[in-house]
Structure 1
Amino acid sequence: MAALTLYELNSMVRDVVELGMPGSYWVEAELSEVRERSGHCYMELVQKDLTGNSTVARASARCWRSTWASVRPGFEQVTGEHFRAGLKVLLQVHAQFHENFGFSWIVTDIDPAYTLGDMARRRQEIIRILKEEGVFDLNKELCLSLFASRIAVVSSESAAGYGDFCNQLDTNAYGFAFSVRLFPAVMQGERTEGSIISALDAINSEADDFDCVVIIRGGGAVSDLSAFDSLALAENVANFPLPVITGIGHERDESVLDMVANKRVKTPTAAAALLIENLKHTYDRIVQAQERISVSVSRRMDYERVRLERVSGRIPVLFSLVKTRQQARIDSFFARVGAAAGRIVAEERLRLDRLSVALAPAVRQRLSAENHRLELLGQRISAVDPAILLRRGYSITLHNGRAVYSPGQLSDGDVIETRLAEGNVRSVVRNKDN
């Protein structure tokens, strides 16, 4: 059996397509990607399941320049929307199979009366709910730290965007040091929402260790951005206690997550550039403040130097004036002290003279009184003088040098002495009771 060439096989497919599907069809689909090149429009069409999370059909479509130039202005004028990803559209297409380029749906008309697709309506509903809850701008109200360098990153560990982000920070032109910690998450597909929320929960438990959170996605289809139009994920980011920076989309695409984040950039490298620029701005402010302080201090020193020179020039004159004034004060003080001392000495001398005059009569009177008192005391002493009593015939009996007042003081054999006016008599006591 002879083998067919690829061209022959593709030609057969083309004939089957042209014969089996000769007409045009109206088809409703959601735009997951729209690109314009050389005047032509290239589209990626998707159909989601009823939950809106899983893609059940996907196809490529093209609108050639001649048709696109007429249908695009009419569509945008009627809908008030740019022809972009996220819209659900009604297209008139016919099938085309080219031997070299494969199968594609060729768009010949677009119904502008067909409104926004389910993806866009769901996004608007999420935005409405977030605004009603009062959290839509909550994360935007947080201020990115001037010294933000401790970065928590939510991304796929194997994503090229994460590597580009880290490399951008590590090789920054200013030598700024960043501390980056990855919290791995799935960044496309049905698991995206739950995976990112889990990563945010892990960061929240260590929130004091970080300055901000960066959610980045390294490339991927635009249709995968629908995972970031999630109410639960948007609420987590809106209420997060740290500023959240997103770099998950392309230049022309914006997810709900981008809308509620503190800052939104296009790519992971743009997120790194934002952080570098933030530190650069802080560094410039510090340098400018340093320069202003230096200039201010220099001016102040010049002013104080001139002022000091003026003061130092006035010091000798001031010192001379002060010295003269103080010397005059001292001289006046000494004069007043001398005069006061002279007055006090004169007053005390006069007082002493008065006291001396008054003292002599008092002394003489006191001496006379004391002499009279002594004479009286002498008379009293003379009256009780033992010698006088002895001359009168009295005697004194002594035993062991003590006067005897009672016979009870003596015992037989005691030697007593009797003192008389003209001598002493010794006796021995015998028969004391007789």
Structure 2
Amino acid sequence: MTHRISLKELNMLVRDTISLAMPDDYWVEAELSEIREVRGHCYMELIQKDPHTNTPVARASANCWASTWMLVRSCFERATGQRLSPGMKVLMQVHARFHENYGFSWIVTDIDPTYTLGDMARKRREIVRVLKEEGVFDLNKELVLSSFAQRIAVVSSASAAGYGDFCHQLQTNEYGYVFYPVLFSAVMQGEGIEQSIIAALDGINAAADNFDCVVIIRGGGATSDLSGFDTLALAENVANFPLPVITGIGHERDESVLDMVAHTSVKTPTAAAALLIDNLRRTETAVDNAMERMVRVAVTRLKEEKMRLDRISDNVPVLFSLVKARRNASLDVLRERLRAGYMRRMDTARTRCDFMEQRLRSCAVQLMKDNTARLDTLSRRVEAADPVNILRRGYSITLVNGRAVRSAACLKEGDEVETRLEQGAFTAVVRDVEGENV
């Protein structure tokens, strides 16, 4: 018959076996997949991933009791500036523990912060390498912060003391400068830092023309929970942002990746406010210096021009006399030239008139000769056509009613006609028109 034992006896046997077989403490490398605090105790889930496929290859639970956890957590946060959170790689000292009621777990007795610091630094180096390969690492630094930066988009928690300090310092600056901060609320501690800040940046980007720069500030809390500022996605958003980004997230111990890619990084929110105030102060000083230089240049130029005018005033009488003499000489020359030109024109016109007179006289004489000859010809023709001369040659002219008869058809019986001869005339009455006696 098989020997039977109770579950408690079995668990106690396992407990004793583990206690005898694994009495030592072990330093274990692992990644935190979950971590939670309950009544001062810390409960962790550890995981190991395949470096090539990122697939989990081992899992385990680990507990750190309250008495130990207070010391371990304080030491870790003081050394790293961050709180233990999922995704961190840790090196912890553990020993095996099997409890008959609660099962197996690793009991954490210590955590080496230097290991986590090394892993965090490695992650930061990897993010920086990717950003430089993408060519965006220095993009935001290449932007020019406006000399008159007064419209400030602020990414912060609305309830953060650091945001209040930032606004107070801007409003009460000793120079009386006016700033216009607009809050874009975001989670600045714990989980969700990355997504919250990116969402705030998206909102600012949609109204980028309304702002001169962006200020990301965090203050008034613990120096832990800053791992959210060391992410590739957030760094890429800030590096590619179209406005200069100023960070003041209180990361006293180390520079975060967000600080590295920002246009300007300062330690605290008040330092960010001081930077903006100093920027306006430098602008005011430059403007004042420019005004002073302009005044000096204007005064010097006025003095030089006054001296120049004085010299010109002294030379005006002499110059006027010289100019007058030159003008008079010029007028005399012009007068002589006009006179000579007038005389030449008169001589030319007179010669032309004489020539035209000769031509007119010759033309008139010729015209008179031509017209006289023409009149003589016409006179002879008129004389030859004179009826008297025709009558002298033995011809007669028969008239009826004072008009010459050219055809018998023009006459009718009873018409009285007059016939003119060289010497005298006689009348007759028409009796027969066609061949009959008259």
**TM-score relative to the length of structure 1:** 0.66
Residues 1:366 and 1:114: Cα distance change in structure 2 (over 3 Å): closer
Of the three residues 78, 81, 93, the one matched with 1:85 is 81
Deviation at 1:60, TM superposition (A): 3.9
Deviation at 1:168, TM superposition (A): 2.5
Residues 1:266 and 1:111: Cα distance change in structure 2 (over 3 Å): closer
List per-residue Cα deviations over 1:262-283 (Å, max 9, x = no partner): 1111222221221122122112
List per-residue Cα deviations over 1:219-259 (Å, max 9, x = no partner): 22111112211121112111212111111114444322112
Length, aligned pairs only: 359
Residues 1:199 and 1:406: Cα distance change in structure 2 (over 3 Å): farther
Residues 1:28 and 1:263: Cα distance change in structure 2 (over 3 Å): farther
**Counterpart residue number, 1:284:** 285
**Counterpart residue number, 1:256:** 257
Deviation at 1:418, TM superposition (A): 6.7
Is 1:61 matched up with 2:71?
Answer: yes
**Counterpart residue number, 2:269:** 268
Gaps of 5+ in 2: 1-24, 31-41, 49-62, 83-88, 95-108
**Counterpart residue number, 1:178:** 179
CA distance in structure 2 between the aligned counterparts of 1:201 and 1:27, rounded to whole angstroms: 44
> Please, what is the CA RMSD of the aligned residues?
4.6
**Counterpart residue number, 1:21:** none
Residues 1:321 and 1:51: Cα distance change in structure 2 (over 3 Å): farther
Contact 1:416 1:429 in 2 (8 A): no
Is 1:394 matched up with 2:397?
Answer: yes
Residues 1:397 and 1:198: Cα distance change in structure 2 (over 3 Å): farther
CA distance in structure 2 between the aligned counterparts of 1:433 and 1:48, rounded to whole angstroms: 173
List per-residue Cα deviations over 1:34-89 (Å, max 9, x = no partner): xxxxxxxxxxxx9986589xxx9794439xxxxx9xxxxxxxxxxxxx95536978
Which amino acid counterpart does residue 274 of structure 1 have in structure 2?
A: L
CA distance in structure 2 between the aligned counterparts of 1:368 and 1:311, rounded to whole angstroms: 81
The 10-residue stretch of structure 1 (372-381 or 354-363) with the greater mean CA deviation from structure 2:
354-363
Residues 1:345 and 1:182: Cα distance change in structure 2 (over 3 Å): same
Residues 1:214 and 1:370: Cα distance change in structure 2 (over 3 Å): same
Gaps of 5+ in 1: 1-24, 31-45, 63-67, 69-81, 93-106
**TM-score relative to the length of structure 2:** 0.66
What are the within-5 Å matches in structure 2 for residues 273-422 of structure 1?
Answer: 273-346=274-347, 349=350, 363-364=364-365, 366-385=367-386, 389=390, 392-396=395-399
CA distance in structure 1 between the aligned counterparts of 2:299 and 2:428, rounded to whole angstroms: 123
What are the within-5 Å matches in structure 2 for residues 200-239 of structure 1?
Answer: 200-239=201-240
Contact 2:80 2:117 in 1 (8 A): no
CA distance in structure 1 between the aligned counterparts of 2:135 and 2:181, rounded to whole angstroms: 31
Is 1:141 matched up with 2:132?
Answer: no
CA distance in structure 1 between the aligned counterparts of 2:306 and 2:282, rounded to whole angstroms: 35
Which amino acid counterpart does residue 192 of structure 2 have in structure 1?
A: R
CA distance in structure 2 between the aligned counterparts of 1:295 and 1:418, rounded to whole angstroms: 130
Residues 1:353 and 1:271: Cα distance change in structure 2 (over 3 Å): closer
Which amino acid counterpart does residue 290 of structure 1 have in structure 2?
A: M
**Counterpart residue number, 2:245:** 244
What are the within-5 Å matches in structure 2 for residues 54-133 of structure 1?
Answer: 59-61=69-71, 85=81, 116-133=117-134
Which amino acid counterpart does residue 81 of structure 2 have in structure 1?
A: A
